């Protein structure tokens, strides 16, 4: 059976995004909140929410890696579409809160959008390759 290198790429991107999200958030969000004397309980809640996004990205990377290594062989497209849905949902939240709070600049939102489109594109290509591989397998088994 063919390896789906799109899913390997999605896994590697997920790992990089998760680590980057954690580090950037710790250095730029948490430190700034502490500098401004924000209550530790509120900082903990913000950091928990921030790390939840990093953790879902990390787990997505593990899922794509398990798909690539063919440890997971059934429900691949369903899992990939579920991960797409999570990322689109997070983007909608990011976009909505950014527009209403004015926290992110337009250039940051454009960069976030470009990265997300690339990431989702890699996943879509992986889904299409998986669909073709499964179709080829069905044809060759007849």
pLDDT-based confidence at 134, cuts 50/70/90?
low
User: CB 118: neighbour CB atoms within 10 A?
Assistant: 12
Question: How many structural domains comprise the chain?
Answer: 1
CA distance 91 to 24: 17
Question: Quick check: 102 and 127 in contact, CB under 8 A?
Answer: no
Structure tokens at 51: 């790390």
Question: Quick check: 125 and 10 in contact, CB under 8 A?
Answer: no
> Which residue has tokens 């440890």?
71
pTM comes to 0.83
Work out the angle at residue 88's Cα, subtended by the Cα atoms of residues 85 and 4, and round it to the nearest 5 degrees. Answer: 60
Host domain of residue 16: 5-140
Is the pLDDT score of 16 beyond 90? yes
pLDDT at 139: 43
Under DSSP, the state recorded for 25 is I
CA distance 65 to 12: 8
Supply the mean pLDDT for the chain.
87
Average pLDDT over residues 15-41: 91
Query: With left for phi above 0 and alpha for psi between -120 and 50, is residue 70 left, alpha or beta?
Result: left
CA distance 4 to 133: 9
Average pLDDT over residues 73-93: 93
């Amino acid at each position: 059976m063919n390896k789906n290198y799109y899913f390997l790429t999605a896994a590697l991107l997920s790992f990089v995004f998760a680590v980057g999200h954690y580090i950037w958030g710790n250095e730029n969000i948490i430190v700034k909140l502490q500098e401004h004397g924000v209550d530790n309980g509120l900082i903990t809640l913000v950091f928990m929410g921030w790390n939840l996004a990093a953790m879902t990205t990390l787990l997505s990377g593990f899922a794509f890696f398990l798909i690539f290594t063919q440890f997971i062989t059934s429900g691949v497209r369903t899992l990939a579409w579920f991960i797409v849905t999570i990322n689109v949902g997070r983007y909608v939240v990011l976009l909505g809160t950014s527009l209403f709070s004015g926290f992110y600049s337009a250039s940051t939102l454009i960069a976030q959008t470009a990265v997300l489109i690339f990431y989702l594109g890699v996943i879509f290509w992986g889904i299409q390759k998986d669909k073709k591989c499964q179709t080829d397998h069905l044809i060759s088994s007849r």
